[in-house]
Chains A and B, each alone.
Chain A
Amino acid sequence: MFRGGGRAALLAVFLAAVAVVAGCASMQENEPIIPVSEYEKLIVGRLDANYVGDQACLAKCHAHDQLKKWFDASTMGAQLSSDSGLPLVNCESCHGPGSLAIANIKVVNGRPTCDYSTFIDLKHLPKQAQSLICLKCHTQNATFGLHYWNTSEHNLSGVSCFDCHNVHKGTDLKVGRKDVAALCYKCHPEIKAQFSLPNHHPVNEGRVTCLDCHDPMGSPNRHMLKDGSMKELCGNCHAEKTGPFAFEHGDVTENCLNCHRPHGSVNQHLLKVRLPYLCYQCHEAQHEVTDNINQQQRTICTDCHTEIHGSDTPDLGNGGAFTR
């Protein structure tokens, strides 16, 4: 199973080992975010405030006791020891230092309320600064999905981590499989309609999700598609159609979107254009004739050219017409 690219693998492992040895010492050092620009100062909070710790906050006002417990229950809460040198995660990690907030506690509607205005105004930060709140920790404690985040269409279009993740609740803060589509539809309503067409992938049925094809945290491909190519992506579930075949369909099948609409279509097989017109766009309509034999062949193209994505078997004339 592990053949091919063996040398590259060995080289990579070697380089990784060297990096581990070289990097171990530096990992013990605490590396706080240094606000070197105005942009980064946005996420540091009030410089005249001090960090007081969660317990100091919760002792003054119990409004967030349950929220704190939920946060601890997540993968972000209470994970690291203080001597690890890695960023610790608690309320002030995101909201900023809280000493001024609890120093000015007032009673509002009979309940003690701290001075929220002294915290970082998370809701009104620029979107990329919102994400940086998360990235300042996730940069140091590997989160695999963030490799392409900064260059992703979402980041550059003003979508922040907060728009998709509820950071206060959930065991791993992920969006559940059954909730993914509804979340994506909020910004992509036309996709919801496409999945309601008579021919569609089973997204509304709750089996396939947007995340099976797209990576909302970035990918090297357009439309944030996963995998290296369209063919590879579709091949995760339709591997029998991907090849390489002895008889290829030119390189048309390299991009499945030449013929298919992936979300939904009025046409069977999610085709962009119905048969036989789909094929006529590139090929002569050879059987649109009136003589006897060809009239009998009057048909949808794929009745005979059934292996249209490629075949290992020559056709009846020992050519590559995908009839077998």
Chain B
Amino acid sequence: MKNILIALLVLTAVLMGGRVFADDNSAQNGGQNGADNGAQGSPDYSLPPEGNAWLGYNFFDLQGSRKAAEYEYPYGSVVGGFNMLYVPLPTRWEANLDWVNPKSWDANFSFAYKDMVKVDYTGWALWRNYNHYGLIGVKYLDTEPGGNYFTDDRDNRLSLVLKWPDRPYHVFVKMRHFEKEGTMQARFYNAVDPVVSNHFKESLARDIDWVTTKLDVGINGHFGPVEAEYSHTAKTFDPHGEVEIPILERGLYPSHVPQYDDNLDTVKLHTDYTGRIVADSTFINGERRNEHSQADLKYRRAYGDVVLIPANGLTVAIRYRGNWTDETVQAVPAGTVTPPAIPISTVTPTSPISYRSNRAELSVRYNPVNMLAFNVEYSYENLQRYNASIWNATIANGSPVIPYQSIPSQQNIHKITAGVTSDPARWINFRGGVEYTYTGEPAYPVNPKNSYKARVDANIVPMPELSANAHYRLTVNDNDTSEMHSNYNNPGVGLVWTPGGPFTMSVNYDYFRYNLKRDIMLARPASEPAPNPRLPVERAPYADQSHVYSISGDYAFAVIPLVLDAEFHQSFGSGEFRIVETAGAYTTTGLGELADLAERETGGSMTAKYALHKGWGLSATYGINNYVDFKNKPQDGPQNGTAQTVMMLATKKW
């Protein structure tokens, strides 16, 4: 159905384009050379086709884990592609293809006739390798040890816009077909009791073929001072009927990946942009349905903005955002793997949480002089949750599902930001800002009650051949209900050096550090003496940090037509989590060690391009990527590896 629709639309566009071409050709015969101001029409010249193409082979080698080649199809392949631009006015054609292998390519095609017919196609394919996670513990079963897991992702997007000649009325159609096909690892909990099953946990391969389609059809036009747009969007996610996974000991294991259908209507209105005052509004009404369990989500949204420029250099924006959702679920069939103690046919899930969210914002920008600007913004949001109290129930042992904190039925969120931008001279500019957010009752222990953010950016050009930038990001969060305190730091610098002549070089470095402390609750075995089977741990610390740097440069030889490009990048990541306190010190005992991290990724490439006669050329690229997991934890599976590529190309420009 959708394919037919696509074909029809493309055919319509081509036919329409063909008709108008014929009309236009006759008109052009008597036309002037080039567009004229008084009678702007189609110029009668064509820009000559231009482009380039390449063809060659990519050799691929992998030692160790595919983690080193996460987004690479791990086989050698013929490589090719082209960029083409052809503009026989008033039509325009553009096409690009970058073919690395059958599982990794990128393509773009566009056609336009004046501004009346516009067709755009974008597509890409990407191969992704996944970790093979190990299972840990005493009793587990991996049915496919050493198996490789991957997905082959393909994204195809097509848009068609038709415009009424010399009138601002449009019809548009946008389509997307996104497919994720491959073999993934399915891990699952098999049984509580080792007598029932020989293995608590199992792992096996699971084939998937998931398709997401989206169709957006709409009309748009200007009617006097107002532009109006209506569109209908239909989205579908189709897992192609995957409902069960066969396992060794327990027969069929239900694993429902549901089909979803999502339909929404959108109406947009906005005033013409005369600069001084503009307003816009948006209304959305939609429904998303789970076709397996019949869970249903209805949503409505309303947005409105007014932007004023009351005086030179002063802009005031007022925004409103409303978001309402109503979610309902139906009873589902009871489990089939383990018969419950009291046989039941259906299970009624907990009623999901629905929302009413209303947010208002006031934003002001002031430019007292051209080189200086100030921004201030305040926003207030009221969020009401329905059914939240049900989720604050206790679990079987009497403990709350979420220790320390309950999900509030109502939240008030205040946020204020202030910023400054300045470029006092051509050789320096500066941006800075601070933000504070207060959330009256955070919904979850991970959400802060007070959040402070700061950011600074500076760009300096001390001399024409050198430019430098520096930035710093800081976030400090706290939640005294859950005793959560965290801070996130990110300083970074960059340099670009162009000494002139054949050589350019750039260097970048960033450091990220995330520190988090919070109270957590451990459970003790039932055999522990009363009264408290729970063990609170105060301020359990978690941290991770990473260094990321890169160097790149290129050199063009003066005597021979040879250009060398080189790039090198490396990142170090490390982190730890300590939860058991012994004599005042945190140790690695227990589950904490599962979260220890020490990793390094190193990559780089070198390219040599040699220009021959008449636009022909040769190119050779060597690339390498190495990943090292210093902790080598079994639950992550094998990750250490090195991927290398050598790509040889013949190129041609015209």
Does B229 have its Cβ within 8 Å of any Cβ on chain A?
yes
| A67 in contact (CB, < 8 A) | no
Contact with B along A4-28 (1 / 0, CB 8 A): 1100110011011001101100110
Known: A26-B224, A246-B295. A285 touches B523 (CB 8 A): yes
Q: Say yes or no: B627 contacts A228, CB within 8 Å.
A: no
Q: Which residues of B contact A126 (CB under 8 A)?
A: 312-313, 367, 370
Which residue of A13, A55, A284 contacts B523 across the interface (Cβ within 8 Å)? A284
Which residue of chain A is the closest to B278 with respect to CB atoms? Answer: A150
Q: Select B118's contact among A75, A277, A306, beta carbons within 8 Å.
A: A75
Partner of B37, one of A13, A52, A139, A178: A52
CA of A194 to CA of B569, assembled, Å? 13
* Contact indicator A197/B571 (Cβ below 8 Å): yes
Chain A interface helix/strand/loop/mixed: loop
Q: Report if A78-B41 is in contact (Cβ < 8 Å); known contacts: A86-B168, A244-B296.
A: yes
Report the bound CA distance from A158 to B138 in whole Å. 60
Contact B391–A250 (Cβ < 8 Å):
yes
Min Cβ gap A107→B in Å is 25
Q: Are B591 and A287 in contact (CB under 8 A)?
A: yes
Using known A-B contacts A229-B323, A281-B484, A312-B256, determine if residue A267 contacts B224 with beta carbons closer than 8 Å: no
Chain A residues whose C-beta falls within 8 Å of the C-beta of B30 in the assembled complex: none
Query: In whole Å, how far is B155's beta carbon from the nearest beta carbon of chain A?
Result: 8
B438 part of interface (Cβ distance < 8 Å): no
Do the beta carbons of B260 and A242 come within 8 Å of each other?
yes
A324 is an interface residue with CB less than 8 A from chain B = yes
- Asked if A299 contacts B126 (CB within 8 A), the reply is no
Q: Take A88-B37, A142-B168, A151-B319 as given contacts and tell me if A69 and B47 are in contact as well, using a CB distance cutoff of 8 Å.
A: yes
A243 contacts B295, CB within 8 Å? yes
A112 interface residue per 8 A CB criterion: no
| Interface residues of chain B: helix, strand, loop or mixed (majority) | strand
Contacts of B223 in A (CB 8 A): 19-20, 22-23, 26
Residues of chain B within 8 A (CB-CB) of A266 are 512, 544-546, 571, 573-575, 597, 599
A63 within 8 A of B: no
Among A84, A89, A149, A239, the residue within 8 A (CB) of B167 is A84
Q: How far is the CB of A121 from chain B (nearest CB, A)?
A: 11
Across the interface, do B522 and A288 meet the contact criterion of CB distance under 8 Å?
Answer: yes
Chain A residues near B35 (CB-CB < 8 A): 54, 72, 77-78, 90
| A323 & B189 in contact (Cβ 8 Å cutoff) | yes
Once bound together, how far apart are the Cα atoms of A124 and B313, in whole Å? 13
Residues of A within 8 A of B546 (CB): 197, 266
- Contact in complex: A245, B258 (CB < 8 Å): yes
Q: Mark A274-301, 1 if CB is under 8 A from B, else 0.
A: 1111001111111111110111111110
A54 and B34 contact, Cβ closer than 8 Å, known pairs A5-B264, A8-B265, A246-B349: yes
Complex alpha-carbon distance, A53 and B40, angstroms? 10
In the complex with contacts A3-B263, A285-B523, A324-B335, A237-B273 CB distance below 8 A:
no
CB nearest neighbor in B for A72: B43
**Is B453 located at the chain interface by the 8 A CB criterion?**
no
| Contact, CB under 8 Å: A27 / B167 | yes
Interface size class of A (residues with CB under 8 A): 35 or more
- A36 at the A/B interface (Cβ < 8 Å)? yes
- Given contacts A81-B39, A156-B315, whether A202 and B229 have CB atoms under 8 Å apart is no
Q: State the CA gap A281–B137 with chains docked (Å).
A: 23
Does B476 have its Cβ within 8 Å of any Cβ on chain A?
no
Among A92, A317, A318: residue with most chain B CB under 10 A: A318
Known A-B contacts A128-B315, A258-B447; the reply to A289 vs B391 at CB < 8 A is no
Judged by a CB distance under 8 angstroms, whether A181 is at the interface is no
A157 located at the interface, meaning its Cβ lies under 8 Å from any Cβ of chain B in the complex: yes
Residue of A nearest to B572 (CB): A266
Q: Which of B153, B221, B571 contacts A198 (CB 8 A)?
A: B571
Q: Contact at A273–B293, with CB atoms within 8 Å? A: no
A80 CA to B255 CA, complexed, in Å: 57
**A250 is contacted by which of B192, B201, B407 (Cβ under 8 Å)?**
B407
Q: Is the CB of A86 within 8 A of B597?
A: no
Q: Is A247 an interface residue (CB 8 A)?
A: yes
Query: Please, how many angstroms separate the alpha-carbon atoms of A289 and B137 in the complex?
Result: 13
Q: Which residues of A contact B363 (CB under 8 A)?
A: 151, 156
Which among B40, B168, B265, B577 has the greatest number of chain A C-beta atoms within 10 A? B40
A239 touches B237 (CB 8 A): yes
User: Is A166 interfacial (CB-CB < 8 Å)?
Assistant: no
A283 to B447, CA, bound (A): 14
Is A183's CB within 8 Å of the partner chain B?
no
Q: Is B520 an interface residue (CB 8 A)?
A: yes
B124 adjacent to chain A (CB < 8 Å): yes
CA distance in complex: A157, B367 (Å): 11
Per-residue CB contact flags for chain A residues 240-254 toward chain B (1 = under 8 Å, else 0) read: 101111111011100
The answer to whether A244 and B126 touch across the interface, beta carbons within 8 angstroms, is no
**CB-based nearest A residue for B491:** A190
Residue contact A303 to B201, C-beta cutoff 8 Å: yes
Question: How far does the Cβ of B41 sit from chain A's closest Cβ, in whole Å?
Answer: 6
Assembly CA distance A85 to B365 (angstroms):
34
Q: Which residues of A contact B282 (CB under 8 A)?
A: 147, 220
- Residues on A with C-beta less than 8 A from B229 are 142, 144, 147
| A273 with B542: CB separation less than 8 A | yes
In the complex, whether B609 has a CB less than 8 A from a CB of chain A is no
B222 & A304 in contact (Cβ 8 Å cutoff): no
Q: Are B108 and A78 in contact (CB under 8 A)?
A: no
Question: Which residues does chain A contribute within 8 Å of B313, judged by CB atoms?
Answer: 126
**In the complex, what's the smallest C-beta–C-beta distance from B335 to chain A, in angstroms?**
5
B601 at the interface (CB under 8 A from A): yes
Contact A4 B286 (CB under 8 A): yes
Mark out the residues of chain B between 223 and 268 whose CB falls within 8 Å of any chain A CB in the assembled complex.
Answer: 223-224, 226-230, 232, 234-237, 239, 253-258, 260-261, 263-265, 267-268
**Least CB separation from A33: chain B residue:** B274
Decide yes or no: A240 and B239 within 8 Å by CB, A193-B510, A284-B522, A288-B579 being known contacts: yes
Cβ proximity bits A161-180 to B, threshold 8 Å, 1 near / 0 not: 00000000001100011100
A19 to B375, CA, bound (A): 38
B461, CB-defined interface residue at 8 Å? no
Of B14-22, B209-217, B612-620, B644-652, the one touching chain A: B209-217
Measured CB to CB, the closest approach of chain A to B424, in angstroms, equals: 14
Residue of A68, A144, A297 near B137 (CB, 8 A) is: A297
Contact with A along B53-93 (1 / 0, CB 8 A): 00000000000000000010000000000000101011010
Q: Kindly list chain B residues whose C-beta atoms are within 8 Å of the C-beta of A316.
A: 189, 191-192, 335, 337-338
- Tell me the minimal C-beta distance from B481 to chain A in angstroms: 12
Bound Cα distance from A255 to B94, whole angstroms: 39
Is the Cβ of A246 less than 8 Å from the Cβ of B332? yes
Cross-chain contact of A247 among B168, B289, B349 (Cβ < 8 A):
B349
Whether a CB of chain B sits under 8 angstroms from the CB of A116 is no
Convert A59-70 into 0s and 1s, putting 1 for each residue whose CB lies closer than 8 angstroms to a CB of B. Answer: 000000000111
A109 at the interface (CB under 8 A from B): no
Q: Mark A130-162, 1 if CB is under 8 A from B, else 0.
A: 001001101111101011111100001110000
User: Complex Cα distance A137/B325, Å?
Assistant: 38
Q: Does chain A have a CB within 8 A of B624? A: no
User: For window 496-527 of chain B, which residues contact chain A by CB distance below 8 Å?
Assistant: 508, 510, 512, 514, 516, 518, 520-527
Interface presence of A117 (CB below 8 A): no
Tell me if B594 counts as interface (CB < 8 A to partner A): yes
Nearest chain A CB to B486 CB, angstrom units: 9
Q: Say if the beta carbon of A113 comes within 8 Å of chain B.
A: no
| B 552-591 to A, binary, CB cutoff 8 A, 1 in contact else 0 | 0000000000000000010101110101100000000011
Give 10 A-B pairs besides A149-B273, A237-B212, A258-B446 with Cβ atoms closer than 8 angstroms: A19-B221, A82-B39, A142-B221, A171-B112, A172-B92, A246-B332, A250-B353, A288-B580, A298-B137, A299-B201
**Which 7 interchain pairs have the tightest Cβ spacing?**
A53-B37, A23-B223, A266-B573, A193-B510, A304-B189, A84-B166, A239-B237
Query: Could you give 24 example pairs across A and B, Cβ below 8 Å?
Result: A19-B221, A33-B275, A82-B38, A88-B40, A141-B222, A202-B126, A236-B176, A243-B295, A244-B327, A248-B350, A250-B407, A266-B544, A274-B542, A281-B446, A284-B399, A284-B534, A285-B521, A289-B523, A299-B136, A302-B187, A303-B136, A304-B188, A314-B349, A315-B189
